Amino acid sequence: MESKPFFRFLFFFIAIAFLFAWTHLHYAPSPGVTTLLDCASNSPWCTSSKNRLQSKQPTLTKTPRASTSQRRHHESAVPRHPLDPLTIQEFNKVRKILSSHALFKSSNNYALHSVVLEEPNKELVLKWKKGQPLFPRIASVIARANGVSHVLTVNLETDEVTVLNTAPPTGYPTMTMEDMTSATWAPLSNAKFNRTIIERGVNLKDVACLPISLGWFGKKEENRRLIKVQCYSMEDTANFYMRPIEGLTVLLDMDTKEVVEVSDTGRSIPIPKATNTDYRFSEQKLQQDLNSVNPISIEQPKGPSFVIEDEHLVKWANWEFHLKPDTRAGVVVSRAKVRDLESGVLRDVMYKGFTSELFVPYMDPTDAWYFKTYMDAGEYGFGLQAMPLDPLNDCPRNAYYMDGVFAAGDGVPYVRSNMVCVFERYTGDIGWRHAESPITGMEIKEVRPKVTLVVRMAASVANYDYIVDWEFQTDGLIRIKVGLSGILMVKGTAYENMNQVEGQENLFGTLLSENVIGVIHDHYITFYLDMDIDGSDNSFVNVNIKRQETSPGESPRKSYLKAVRNVAKTEKDAQIQLKLYDPSEFHVINPTKKTRVGNPVGYKVVPGGTAASLLDHEDPPQKRGAFTNNQIWVTQYNRSEQWAGGLFVYQSHGEDTLDVWSERDRPIENKDIVVWYTLGFHHIPCQEDFPIMPTVSSSFDLKPVNFFESNPILRAPPYFEKDLPVCRPAYSA
């Protein structure tokens, strides 16, 4: 293979097309250099920057259609809804205001770890109507200056900066991209590291490294922001993850870039070969022709049925909701309402929903692996890792693409293009059907197709890819699905075949290929669901399904099932661990709103992806990930409690988690409540996961329960031939 230049020593985001032009992501230059909104219009750099900063779709008021040939002018965007994210102009104003604030003027080294909209109080948003003035726009900022973390707000109308005393006692903010970049370069300054790489037989030009969060395992890791760095060989493959330099770990001070320690415990372990590791289509020697699967495209001759108003308000069928990208959560769905076709009224279902945290503990207690217990949202930023979606492959034709506009560590805004897509899906599923039996003498066959609306994002957090779908159905159901794909994090080994493994030796995983072990691990994705069923004051009901024995002589039956409804009074009453042989339904109801026949209106959480953490609750990773101790939690609404792992997750001790908040045992009956649901996966790797994993998915539902008076899609029309396009196959042309 052709020799690569020295800059091949790069962090993982380059390898997964994350950085700069590879992601269509534009960083403006440092302060003092011409920036997007400061540069002269006749500047060549300014012109090219503007082109890169604009996404590929125009500012259209009511069209969902957006292709890669269209452009949106982000620099002129203005907010139109109280929940709209910060704009380019607002980011620049925040940066300007903070640059003159004493906290930052006195700092030789500061970074903005998060700059997002400080959303107005919920009660204000609920009262706001389109056309009314917006509330004062306020930015919420998490920053580090002179080695100290700060939480502050910036009022964009008054220029007032308020420093809040809300920083947790332990932990650090989400890493910036600059943190991760610099951490992976820093080991090069250490002679021992360089010498070790060369002694392992790897050329420095072929080294790629990952910044790995180290969790928290005791006092020796306190009072300094630390990170671990591990490296791989990129020689002869793009899939460097399959070529680990096993046992080599660098402990680094993230603030000073000082190499604290170099540990090398794997000198006897060979670096796996590159053979058959590359997953790119262009590199496949035998490109399989799957004759049985021709390309499929769902055509919509009349165009999509949904519209996007004012860039963020989605309207489709009987649904309406606000949608925005977020650096930490990925996407945020707010103000979700469904239209009751009986009354014509838009009814509240959910005030806000998003991915709150991801916990990924690996099950290898050895020196180079025990700390791999990732919190992907709070440590790395789930939205920061979102990739531009690939039209036709990530999202089908007629998808609408939404960009993310974020701030870099120095406050300069940039655009993550095509971060979210919205599209209609039809897979041949059935909305409802009934065919009458011939014995009735009635020739009746009624069937309705199921078409849904999908909001999708995909995040590549180093090796792993997560696909998150919010799927809306016309019957009122919301399905939240997570797909796992990408590349396994693997361990090097001396073994090439299982016949070399003696007895019951624990490999901590599966031998996938020669010298490659896929380590066992879990994935937990916790969702924040602020349910507002016909209003904010709701109750949580555990509808327990119990076996009832019949009395002697009562019936030929010995037993039957009955539903026992238990309304949760306090938060501890609503801590749910799912049990196969003690089943329940989990309802969120509005006790003050009843159907015509007297049932309280509600929605129910329909579980799926029910893997549960088996780690000891006193294990340090589980203390930090204690929000996975239950599959369902219900808490009293508190706007400061949104991140299940705490506001500051990095190196936290676990004292600011959902588990801690819930221990307050606040009243939740007929209150404004938040439901938390955790999708769980146990992953024992197998050879089919090598060198890249087929997607595995799981989902849970939010389903109406006595919310409507009857089947809400009863009057949906069937399809007829005249309504559909006729597409002839190529061979018949």
List residues with catalytic annotation: 376, 464
- Mention every residue, 6+ apart, whose C-beta is less than 8 A from residue 704: 475, 476, 477, 602, 603, 712
Say how far apart CA 512 and CA 277 lie, in whole Å.
11
Which runs of consecutive H residues, i.e. helices, occur in 72-113? 88-99, 102-105
Helix (H) or strand (E) holding 194, with range, is: helix 191-199
Backbone CA torsion sign across 129, 131, 135, 137 = positive
What are the phi and psi torsion angles at 436 (to 5°)? -80, 140
Give me the residue label for tokens 């910044």.
211
Helical (H) or strand (E) element with 585: strand 584-594
| Rounded Cα distance, 89 and 91, in Å | 6
**Distance from CA of residue 442 to its chain's centroid?**
50
Strand partners, 703: 604
Burial label for 108, CB within 10 Å (0-12, 13-18, 19+), is: exposed
Instruction: Could you list the beta-strand ranges (E) of 426-463.
Output: 430-435, 445-449, 452-461
Instruction: Tell me if 404 sits within 8 A of 325, measured CB to CB.
Output: yes
Q: Which residues contact 521 (CB under 8 A, 6 or more apart)?
A: 360, 361, 362, 363, 372, 489, 683
Distance CA 244, CA 207 (A): 10
Write the burial class of residue 285 (CB in 10 Å: 0-12 exposed, 13-18 middle, 19+ buried).
exposed
Among 360, 403, 411, smallest CA distance to 383 is for 403
Cα 63 to Cα 54, 332, 412: the distances in Å are 18, 21, 30
> What is the three-class DSSP state of 309?
strand
3-state secondary structure of 18: coil
CA-atom Rg of the chain in angstroms = 27
b/e burial code for range 525-549 (CB count within 10 A of at least 16 → b): bbbbbbbbbbebbbbbbbeeeeeee
* Buried/exposed code over 173-197 (b: 16+ C-beta within 10 A; e: otherwise): bbbbbebbbbbbebbbebeebeebb
Partners of 472 in the β-ladder: 453, 478
Q: Tokens 């204690």 map to which residue?
A: 626
The one-letter code for the residue type at 139 is A
Rounded Cα–Cα distance for residues 130 and 133 (Å): 8
Cross-strand pairs, 676: 528, 633
- 195: tokens are 């010498």
Burial (CB count <10 Å: 0-12, 13-18, 19+), residue 123: exposed
Amino acid at 111: A
**Contact criterion met (CB below 8 Å) for 544 and 592:** no
